[in-house]
Chain A
Amino acid sequence: MGVLLDNLPAFGEGLRTTAALTLASYLVALVLGTFVAAMRVSPIPPLRWLGTVWTETLRNVPLTVLFFVFFFGFTKIGVSYVPFVSAVIVLGCYTSAFVAEAIRSGINSVAPGQAEAARALGLTFAQVLGTIVLPQALRTVVAPLGSLFVALIKNTSIAFTIAVVELTRVVKELASVTGEAIPLYLGAAVAYLLLALPSSAVIGAIERKVAIRR
């Protein structure tokens, strides 16, 4: 236990990076995912195809492989960013595919009559989607979007493979320096749980708040 207390500042720094990584990537994922979902229901075929290719590719390739392709592969074609930014891009894009799928299923859950009524009033595609369907769809997908957030907290740990100094990296390095791996890894496990469990609670609260009462 002593080793944890001795290295509390480094530990805290890692935890902060993990939190920052989670929040930044989630923001990217939400924005990108909403766009991709809109693309997938748009009347313009190339956009639909692009949306489908985007989600299917990112959902079916392991996150670790994406990290390696982007960070170690793309530097060869002159695409390189510092590890933290790379991690935000990869995590954001990866999660956006799942966000898009969640939102699309939300869109599907909105009764067709809503869109039809909006069209009857003469709204355009963008207006139907933006002002009528999406606001209702987003409410129904709070739970899956929430569990994506929790999954994202855990997924940030994979960023240690590209040298982002987040919690897992800090713990791994401290463990090899001090040789006291067990308390350090247990500490990390508890820290991740402490991030995940309150998030779940907050998400649950939001879910209850926005629930459509019928």
Chain B
Amino acid sequence: MTVAVFADPLGPRGKIKVAVATLFGGVAVAGVLYVAFRRFQSNGQLEGKLWSDLFTGESLRFFWGGLKNTLKLAGVSLVLALVLGMVLALARLSRRTPVRWLATLWLQFFRGVPLVVLMLFFYFGLDIPNYTAIIMGLTLYNSAVLAEIIRAGILSLDRGQREAAFAIGMTDGQAMRAVVLPQAIRRMVPALVSQLVVLLKDTSLGVAVLYEELLRRGELAGEFLKNKLQAFLFVAAIFLIVNLLLSSAARWLEGRQGKAKKVAPGGPVRVSGVEDLTVA
């Protein structure tokens, strides 16, 4: 629904009203920005050195190393979580009741426990090195989320596909491998990319177990250069850029699939991030 639906096409008076409101709105936004600017200025946070220190070759290499660690965490746990999630999704759809129960229990547990608690438990409780602890936490949590996405992808497929596979004499496993999964996975790609954004964001929890991902490096740099505010804002900006790129990739994939007749009916699996995991 677009704006147009909520209000009639504007007449002369309405146009004036909107113009006035736009002016006031613009002034208000500018005012807020100005107050923020003054705050920075009066506290000496706009001083050139505080910012330029972040962009020396040495600092940039340090941050780049942090970003690489962050991407590595996300990449490794994505692959592991995909494998585990696939197994869990198939277990959830299994014909054997105990298998289904076990998988459901696993899902409920790892979806319900905060990720940072898992990481702290592995690191402090089981004395696992911090890198492995983070990977384990991310993998276990995301396996539960991805399993739901994969399951939704499988269930979104027309029943006839599987029935047709049976009709030509395929076994359960064959039908799944050769017919159902290849189609289901195509539909899941946008949802998986959206989930990658969440995963990438969650790597920053590594700071809790002192692993040198991007945020931790930002903290270290901020302590060393005495410009914590600038360092954290810089880290936030990097995350913002990377994630916006990923989000637009997800949207692009979704749009491309929406057009392709192959995946209709139903279209791509829609999941709007774990913050509101509602697989529709």
Q: Which residues of A contact B (CB under 8 A)?
A: 41-50, 56-57, 59-66, 68-69, 72-74, 76-79, 95, 98, 101-102, 105, 107-108, 110, 112, 115-116, 119, 124-125, 128-129, 133, 143-145, 147-148, 150-151, 154-155, 157-158, 160-161, 168, 171-172, 175-176, 181-182, 184-186, 188-189, 192-193, 196-197
- A46-B26, A101-B272, A175-B125 in contact; A196/B6 too (CB < 8 A)? no
The CB with the most chain A CB atoms within 10 A, among B10, B115, B116, B222, is that of B116
The CB with the most chain B CB atoms within 10 A, among A108, A145, A151, is that of A151
Q: How far is the CA of A66 from the CA of B275 in the complex (A)?
A: 15
Q: Of A57, A102, A171, which one neighbours B276 at CB under 8 angstroms?
A: A102
The CB with the most chain A CB atoms within 10 A, among B125, B207, B275, B277, is that of B275
The reply to whether B232 and A65 contact each other, CB–CB distance below 8 Å, is yes
The reply to whether B113 and A192 contact each other, CB–CB distance below 8 Å, is yes
The reply to whether A128 and B116 contact each other, CB–CB distance below 8 Å, is no
Chain B residues in 8 Å Cβ range of A110: 1
Q: Of B26, B124, B228, B278, which one neighbours A72 at CB under 8 angstroms?
A: B228
In the complex, chain B residues 201-246 whose Cβ is within 8 Å of any chain A Cβ = 201-205, 207-208, 215, 218-219, 222, 228-229, 232-233, 235-236, 239-240, 243-244
The smallest beta-carbon distance between A17 and chain B, in angstroms, is 14
The smallest beta-carbon distance between B34 and chain A, in angstroms, is 14
The reply to whether A168 and B277 contact each other, CB–CB distance below 8 Å, is no
Chain B residues in 8 Å Cβ range of A76: 43, 45, 228-229
The segment from B17-25, B54-62, B161-169, B259-267 that touches chain A is: B17-25
Tell yes or no: B120 within 8 A of A by CB.
yes
Q: How far is the CA of A161 from the CA of B116 in the complex (A)?
A: 10
- A60-B247, A73-B228 in contact; A193/B124 too (CB < 8 A)? no
The reply to whether B25 and A147 contact each other, CB–CB distance below 8 Å, is no
Q: How far is the CA of A50 from the CA of B22 in the complex (A)?
A: 12
The reply to whether B8 and A119 contact each other, CB–CB distance below 8 Å, is yes
Chain B residues in 8 Å Cβ range of A62: 200-205, 215, 239
Q: How far is the CA of A129 from the CA of B3 in the complex (A)?
A: 11
Q: Known A-B contacts: A44-B22, A61-B236, A185-B117. Give 15 more (CB < 8 A).
A: A43-B10, A45-B22, A60-B201, A62-B200, A64-B205, A73-B229, A98-B276, A128-B6, A128-B7, A129-B6, A143-B278, A148-B276, A158-B205, A181-B121, A192-B113
The reply to whether A192 and B244 contact each other, CB–CB distance below 8 Å, is no
Q: Of B10, B29, B116, B229, which one neighbours A46 at CB under 8 angstroms?
A: B29
The smallest beta-carbon distance between B118 and chain A, in angstroms, is 8
Tell yes or no: B197 within 8 A of A by CB.
yes
Q: How far is the CA of A2 from the CA of B236 in the complex (A)?
A: 42
Q: Of B25, B117, B272, which one neighbours A188 at CB under 8 angstroms?
A: B117
The reply to whether B272 and A119 contact each other, CB–CB distance below 8 Å, is no
Tell yes or no: B109 within 8 A of A by CB.
yes
The reply to whether A161 and B207 contact each other, CB–CB distance below 8 Å, is yes
Q: Of A48, A60, A102, A185, which one neighbours B239 at CB under 8 angstroms?
A: A60
Q: Which residue of A lies closest to B278 (CB)?
A: A144
The smallest beta-carbon distance between A90 and chain B, in angstroms, is 12
The reply to whether B117 and A77 contact each other, CB–CB distance below 8 Å, is no
- A56-B244, A129-B6, A192-B114 in contact; A77/B45 too (CB < 8 A)? yes
The reply to whether B6 and A43 contact each other, CB–CB distance below 8 Å, is yes
Q: How far is the CA of A167 from the CA of B41 in the complex (A)?
A: 38
Q: Which residue of B lies closest to A69 (CB)?
A: B232
Q: How far is the CA of A145 from the CA of B236 in the complex (A)?
A: 26
- A46-B22, A63-B201, A115-B6 in contact; A181/B39 too (CB < 8 A)? no
The reply to whether A144 and B276 contact each other, CB–CB distance below 8 Å, is yes
In the A-B complex, the 4 residue pairs with the smallest Cβ-Cβ separation, listed nearest first, are A181-B125, A46-B25, A157-B114, A60-B243
The smallest beta-carbon distance between A164 and chain B, in angstroms, is 13
Chain B residues in 8 Å Cβ range of A43: 3, 6-7, 10, 18
Q: How far is the CA of A161 from the CA of B39 in the complex (A)?
A: 25
Chain B residues in 8 Å Cβ range of A65: 204, 215, 218, 232, 235-236, 239
